Amino acid sequence: MLGGVSQGWAASATDPYPPDGRSYIEPQALSLNWLPPEGNPSPVDHYALRLDEDPDVVQNPALTPAYTGTIDAAPAPSFLIDELARDTAYYWRVDAVLQDASVVTGDLWSFTTEPIDIPGNVINYSSDPVNQYLMSPSLIILPDGAYIANHEYGGPWSGGHAKETLIFRSTDQGRSWRQIATVYDQFWSSTFYQIGRAHV
């Protein structure tokens, strides 16, 4: 967008943390981050972040959201919020302001904070804990300091689904996690490091 007028296709920020739609996010010292857009005709100059409990406020430039930020262009841009309310859904957007003064409007993302102070950090969770269990967890620390964790799903839910192992990675000592892979037809798995590689 340039002056409110579409200038054709342009890429926006991607791969948000917290992941879009995620629940059980620790609300204290929360670092929002994303990946820079790629392929735009002009480089990013800076980002404009908007966050609020009301998605309409985030989407309406005439309204002022609870949190706003201007973030310099960087390979790994981020925005730190000291504390958010517990058990609350938040909506946010990151617009990329390019060096040619055009603005690429970002997608609307959301996350929900933890209802209580859960010890540690939640890597993953079940939205249906009566029928879908998280099983066979394992965790390793790689030589470069990254953490790798995995688990599988079990319980009554698994009767009608293929076995699968989910793999997650953290580069901030377990503070935040991203799912990096799903291995199908794999269960009761452990992750280990040997001969310069991580294995499942």
What would the pLDDT profile of 92-134 be if each residue is shown by its tens digit? 999 999 999 999 999 999 999 999 888 888 888 887 888 888 8
Number of other CB atoms surrounding residue 58 within 10 Å: 25
In a domain, 126, yes or no: no
Q: Are residues 25 and 92 in the same domain?
A: yes
In a domain, 125, yes or no: no
d(CA 73, CA 78): 10
Residue 7, pLDDT score: 46
In a domain, 4, yes or no: no
Give the β-pairing of 147-154 and 164-170.
Answer: antiparallel
Q: Taking the CA of residue 105 as centre, how many other CA atoms within 13 Å lie in the half-sphere pointing to its CB?
A: 13
Q: Structural domain tally of the chain?
A: 2
d(CA 117, CA 86): 8
Q: Are residues 93 and 183 in the same domain?
A: no
48 close to 102: Cβ distance less than 8 angstroms: no
Q: Are residues 151 and 96 in the same domain?
A: no
Residue 2, pLDDT score: 39
Q: Render pLDDT for 56-103 as a digit per residue (tens, 0 to 9).
A: 999 999 999 999 999 999 999 999 999 999 999 999 999 999 999 999
Report the predicted TM-score, pTM, of the whole model to 2 decimal places. Answer: 0.76
Q: Are residues 92 and 160 in the same domain?
A: no
Q: Are residues 191 and 137 in the same domain?
A: yes
The span from the first CA to the last CA of the chain, in angstroms, equals 45
Q: Are residues 96 and 138 in the same domain?
A: no
CA 109, 113, 118, 119 torsion-angle sign: positive
Segments forming the whole domain that contains residue 141: 133-199
